[in-house]
Amino acid sequence: MLNSIKTNEFAGDKGKELGMMYFRVAIILFGAQLLMGLIAAIQFLVPGFLFELFDFSVARMVHINALVVWMLYAMIGSVYFMLSDETGEQLVHAGLGKLAFWVLTAAVTVVVLVYIFVQVGAGTEATIWLINEGREYIEAPRWADIGIVVVVLIFYWNVFMTYMKGQKTGIMTVMVADLLALAGLYLAGMWFTDNISMDQFWWWWVIHLWVEATWEVFVGTLAAYALIKIIGAKREIVEMWLWIEVLMLFGSGILGLGHHYFWIGTPEYWWEIGALFSALEPVPLVAMFVHVLYDWGKEQGIAKAEGKTGSVMNNGPAMAWIVTNAFGNFLGAGIWGFFHTLPQVNIYTHGTQFTAAHGHLAFFGAYATILIGMFYMGIQYAYGIKELKATFKSKMGIFLITFGVVGMTIALTIAGYEQVLVERAELGGGWNAFFAAQELPWYIQAQMWRAIMGVVTFVGFIYLVLDLVTIGKQAKAAQAA
């Protein structure tokens, strides 16, 4: 992965080269996210750890923002990577795209340094413009906000013009429409007012329509593309399920937001509508995967019976991450989300560690997994490998990261369960109840296990990075032998 941009097998495909550049920064930011999460996990157990040097609020802020930014990097990289395959055309403005990449990377570097070394500022306009905006998940200062918009406009212009010039596949049509919605929502999130209620209103819609609507559709396009490339899935099958995902966007992605309305005084019928549709979000993606895999297995059996060679799975590590995505999405976003979206349950679980448990498993299962799968596809194409097989490091990476995230989810769920029983149900949910619940043995033990599982996840990440750096060169040498 380190030397594949200059010495690659992309045959002059500038889109794929640009995609690999985004993938590299994404993996670095992924590591930063995990490191900050570990610091925050330790601070849950030892509140004095790095006190007044690097407080919990700062570690948590960098942890969350690194999550969003590494995924955006990986998403942009994935679009550039698949563009020529889907459109049949080269990227129309490769030089402009590369300039935007360096501008964005320089801006992200400055913002992260400010987060780490400056951390907080006074409640003034200068803080909003130069340090952070104080909005969870999208806390970039205003100057960076504007820069991000310019970079995203260049990105979208590049993708749209390449799409208009080339083939208009179903996957690419959905992708172009989805990117427009994704970028447009970011603009809505830039709206700023001194009224904190109005400000939070706009912020809330941006975050939730991102993760519960546009990001879900985006993941569907990547899954469709990857299944075609890895196991030769039929385009008409994957695109059928992709269009169903788009259709359900209006139900699962928008109506599904109703499960949050419990807290803003909307009519009660919204609660059931929201709970039902939000649980349906991952269904089309799982159905796409099951349908494709069933067809693939059937065709393999027919080919074998006729003495022929069927369609070979040409990228084992990427396929393993995509399988994890299909079921991780269903479990994390669907099942774990449904656990506490019903208003009868949410009245007790809202804002407890139940939310953190759902957040960890949903972001990992729905988004991180398939983006890592795209990293492996990048490696395969960069080195010109016909069949990329999983190594020991590949297996350790996916096993430890998945085991660690699931372990953290279970630990946080137990912590949330204790909060519900003691803080909310028994002590009434007041300020004193909050602190009383945090001192009980179950909560402390759960946080200890969360930290241990965080270490397991980080070890898995090290295996993943080592694999991404070495697997391409090793596979190419084996192919040449």
Provide the β-strand partners of residue 114: none
What is the per-residue pLDDT for 334?
77
pTM for the complete prediction?
Answer: 0.92
Token pair of 74 as six digits: 């990986």
- Please state, in angstroms and as integers, the Cα–Cα distance from residue 358 to each residue in 276, 329, 412, following that order: 17, 11, 9
- State residue 337's pLDDT score: 79
Q: Is 475 helix (H, G, I), strand (E, B) or coil?
A: helix
pLDDT of residue 227: 94
pLDDT by residue, tens only, the chain of 481 residues: 655 566 678 878 999 999 999 999 999 999 999 999 999 999 999 999 999 899 999 999 999 999 999 999 999 999 999 999 999 999 999 999 999 999 999 999 999 999 999 888 888 889 989 998 887 777 888 999 888 889 989 999 999 999 999 999 999 999 999 999 888 888 877 777 788 888 877 777 787 788 777 888 899 999 999 999 999 898 999 999 888 888 876 666 677 777 777 777 778 788 778 777 777 777 777 888 888 888 888 888 888 888 877 777 899 999 999 999 988 888 887 788 777 777 778 888 888 999 999 999 999 999 999 999 999 999 999 999 999 999 999 999 999 999 999 999 999 999 999 999 999 888 888 889 998 998 899 999 999 999 999 999 999 999 999 999 999 999 999 998 8
- Parts of the chain belonging to CATH 1.20.210.10: 313-480
Fold of 313-480: Cytochrome C Oxidase; Chain A (1.20.210)
Residue 298's pLDDT is what?
85
What is the distance between the alpha carbons of residues 419 and 441, in angstroms, rounded to a whole number?
11
pLDDT given at position 149: 87
- Residue 106: phi and psi, rounded to 5, are -65, -40
pLDDT for the residue 272? 77
CA-wise closest residue to 66 among 39, 96, 27 = 27
Tell me what pLDDT residue 250 has. Answer: 64
pLDDT at 65: 92
Identify the CA nearest to 62 among candidates 38, 32, 92, 99. Answer: 32
Question: What pLDDT does residue 379 have?
Answer: 94
pLDDT at site 320: 96
**Residue 245 phi, psi (nearest 5):** -60, -40
**Residue 360, pLDDT score:** 93
Give the torsion through C-alpha atoms of 282, 286, 288, 290, to 10 deg.
-170
Q: Scanning the structure block, which residue is given the tokens 């996990």?
A: 41
Would you call 388 helix, strand, or coil by DSSP? strand
